[in-house]
Chain A
Amino acid sequence: MSGPAPELVDLGLREAGEAIQARRASSAELTEAALARIAATDGRLGAFLAVAPERAREAARAADARAAAGGRRSPIDGVPVAVKDLFLTRGVPTTAGSRILEGYLPPYDATVVERLEAAGAVLVGKLNMDEFAMGSSTENSAYKPCRNPWDLDRTPGGSSGGSAAAVAARQVHGTLGTDTGGSIREPASFCGVVGVKPTYGRVSRYGVIAFASSLDQVGPLARDVGDAALLLRTIAGHDPRDLTSSTRPVDDYLAGLEGGAKGLRIGVPREWFQGGVDRGVEERVRAALALYERQGARLVEITLPHSKYGIGAYYLIAPAEASSNLARYDGVRFGLRAKGAAGLKEMYTETRARGFGPEPKRRIMLGTYALSSGYYDAYYLRAQKVRTLIRRDFDEAFSRCDVVAGPVAPSVAFRLGERTDDPLHMYLADIFTITCNLAALPGLSVPCGLEAGSGLPVGLQLVGRSFDEVTLFRAARALERELGPPPRPRGV
């Protein structure tokens, strides 16, 4: 059961924008269709933490007025989208998936939200996520789990689970998520959608609740490569409010999209194919590589010798930065404050004990330890040096290839509850995505077929040179063009 006007919800992001411009559909119609689809499906799916129907309708009305006057702002003017609940939205509750921010109404919008709205996109609501972006399954959401539209007993991945599920389930035409260790790419892979983590610094982090400052990046999730490219182009670019955002001009990611894979040198890291990946997943990935070869790309065996140290480095650096970033949640100025505390110190410890779930607590503890006196050199500092070594691996690889290809995750979407007892096991699955964040390079997941047997989506990961998203999009599109879009998920 999918609610009224299913055809509208099936439109891609660009298709929807074009439909509005050509007056074949109105933003109001698209918005009502999205809201209806959400109402019909989200009870089971759990992709949304907050829906803002009135704000959306108002934005739709304005978009339609612009379309009538022939003055559209951008190719996505009037198209319903949604963003991870990590992005601050003025007047709309923003929780980071945590109880410590339950009901928090920010006084300002994140830069990426401003840019989406300046482009005329209709923001429909805030998407479910692992608490403070810590997790790979959205099971760490303090509110409710999100489910995979392909199989409601399985996770959509995380931490941007809601962002991937909402796109796959056709609730909205495109979403934004964040990726710190794989949190866009892994859910994109699990849900059969395109998910992009841009080069560090390509997109502003102002107004994005910080998890790990030197790793977090905002990125788009969409049903196809072109839509993702368009969304990225809309939000990318320097922000004077973020001194970690690059002043490099933004490329037109749509310009060379259909360039094809001929002549492309695709690096295949030997370390990524040494086992530890489910056979069905590896089959799909290898098939995609074979397809590239048939298209005229050249496969080049490369080595990323420090690949296996990525988890160790990441699980020191990210928690360390997070332990500091999460210190502001102290009950003093906003958010939860524990009642009945005897004094100041107890107010702090009780507020944070009650407000944070186990995963943030675990990472805060780990990070505090890694930075503490006597341990800083052996842990945090060493991890930052290993990070340099990992980056050098990629620099060396990119002297011999143009993109690096491999799996996104060792498996397809796993069942809810399957990994919640063993945090380390959960962490180890980040092995393929994590080095890209550490190296600050762009990476994406593009669907490369369904796993034989389970019928669940598998994503191919592509990692590119610094600020070379253009090549990534071109390569991903070449695959997509030949494979065709994935079928609709059967779960919702």
Chain B
Amino acid sequence: MPVSDFEVVIGLEVHAQLLTRSKIFCGCSTAFGGAPNTHVCPVCLGLPGVLPVLNRRVVELAVRTGLALGCAVRPKSVFARKNYFYPDLPKGYQISQYELPICEGGAVELALDGVEKRVRLTRIHMEEDAGKNVHDVSADGSSGVDLNRAGVPLLEIVSEPDLRSAEEAVEYLKTLRAILIALGVNDGNMQEGSLRCDANVSVRRRGATAYGTRCEIKNMNSFRFLKQAIEFEVRRQVERVEEGGAVVQETRLFDPDRGETRSMRSKEEAHDYRYFPEPDLPPVIVDPALVERIREELPELPRARAARYQRELGLSAYDAGLLVADPAHADWFDAALAAAGAGAEHAKRLANWLNGDLARLANETGLAPSAWKLAPAQLAAILRLVEAGTIGGPGAKQVLEEVFRTGADPEAVVRAKGLAQVSDEGAIEAAVDKVLAASPGEVEKYRGGKKNLMGFFVGQVMKEMRGKGNPAVVNALLGKKLGD
């Protein structure tokens, strides 16, 4: 943890792969996986004589993202070459945007522990991804180069250095990710590398106005790594400064096994990228009519959706926030709610299941809602069973788990597991009478003021009923019999 007289300054550069069918400058598929070099053509291989041809969908998705984040969209932006040598960069340059990016300004609004914060963006630009270097492909230690990913379209989203803690950085990334998923621009799949981020981290003494020297930590693809990397880096920099030394500006990599950042050896010489406008591509002209059409077609964004859930369904800010953090979950929630009859009264319970048990199950299995065996209509059915008193909370939990794993019909599960609870007042009254008769001492104590004995009585009644008593009815009858 940083010494309290230091302030941390963080800016994030997020690289998001765009959900297009084909690559940015050629017609190869962007599909993930596949054996090396199975989605390549002369253009993305960087063979002699090839030329890039821009995919219009990339521009549309870039504009959509910029509008959603409140950026100014440049009517004319220019591609530029970023020149450097690396095996995964077939042309020896990356086609990116430099002086004239497609979007500028904008912001991401986030909330951390109830406190709202507005993180400004510097710019958003389009660029092509590089291929992948594979280490140790053969006994002699050689590396392999796979160019399937070379040419996949990326949006680079650059924030101003407005973040002040690792937690804020993580929350920023989570919020941005949810927005990109909701926009249909990115699939949010960090394990597969479709969303990655570089963090620029510096420290300065509290009260100082000048920025300290920053280091860039490259290529993090998990929230956990991002947090660990920043925390380590901050400690490292603070130590350096406190020793009287200086932080050297450099590029670093996070090593997840050690939980440390280390300097990238290959970057000893500062890169001179020799940017110049890409002569093979005309300037990108975005006409105002297109911008308006895209603006009109913007989907509801997580923040607005959460506000709507609170307003229309009475969900708490916390519950709503959890739901919209994953747009796929929120979509699923909407479907379940619709199947349940769309009343606000159902919303809270459904939200709790989604944010609680279902989130846990999804996490354990790594399954996205589209892959769940449990269908929204089935959750609505479970809800009906609970509201009808057929099953209680614990029973519902068991049904939910079973249906999630097998896709079986909820009512069939209730029957098979004998989960139906007893709500019949007569049966419950009989059990209550039995229990009270067997514990006269406790009854007296209760009537004398020891109200916490209710739990004991409820437990005993449940035991008598083998757990199948409808808790509400049990409580009501006990209360009546005990003279409340």
Contacts and interface: CB of A to CB of B under 8 A. Distances in A.
B54 interface: yes
B83 interface: yes
A373 B87 contact: no
A344 B145 CA distance: 13
B48 A106 contact: yes
B246 to A, nearest CB: 23
A371 B87 contact: no
A94 B93 CA distance: 23
Contacts of A344: 87, 143
B163 to A, nearest CB: 29
Interface in A314-357: 320-321, 323-324, 326-330, 332-334, 344, 348
B307 to A, nearest CB: 43
B83 A371 contact: yes
Where chain A touches its partner, the secondary structure class is loop
Given A209-B49, A330-B92, A372-B272, A107 B42 contact: yes
Contacts of B48: 88, 94, 96, 101, 104, 106, 209-210, 328-329, 334
A242 B93 contact: no
B45 A243 contact: no
A373 B87 CA distance: 23
Interface in B109-156: 143, 145
Interface in B32-55: 42, 45-54
A328 B274 contact: no
A106 to B, nearest CB: 7
B281 interface: yes
A2 interface: no
B83 A324 contact: yes
Contacts of A107: 42, 47
A210 B92 contact: no
Given A107-B42, A213-B279, A243-B54, A324 B49 contact: no
A461 B178 CA distance: 62
B272 A324 contact: no
A273 interface: no
Interface string A232-252: 000000001111100000000
A262 B49 CA distance: 42
Given A107-B42, A332-B90, A344-B87, A244 B276 contact: no
A17 to B, nearest CB: 28
A327 B279 contact: no
Contacts, number: 99
A5 to B, nearest CB: 35
B49 A321 contact: no
A18 to B, nearest CB: 33
A107 B47 CA distance: 9
Contacts of A136: none
A330 to B, nearest CB: 6
A483 to B, nearest CB: 38
Contacts of A207: 49-50
Contacts of B49: 87-88, 106, 110, 205-210
Interface string A200-236: 0000011111100110000000000000000000000
Nearest to A326: B92
B45 A244 contact: no
Interface of A: 87-88, 94, 96, 101, 104, 106-108, 110, 205-210, 213-214, 240-244, 320-321, 323-324, 326-330, 332-334, 344, 348, 368, 371-373, 376, 380
19 contacts: A101-B48, A106-B49, A107-B42, A207-B50, A214-B279, A243-B54, A243-B280, A244-B280, A323-B83, A327-B91, A328-B92, A332-B87, A333-B45, A333-B46, A333-B47, A334-B47, A334-B48, A371-B275, A372-B272
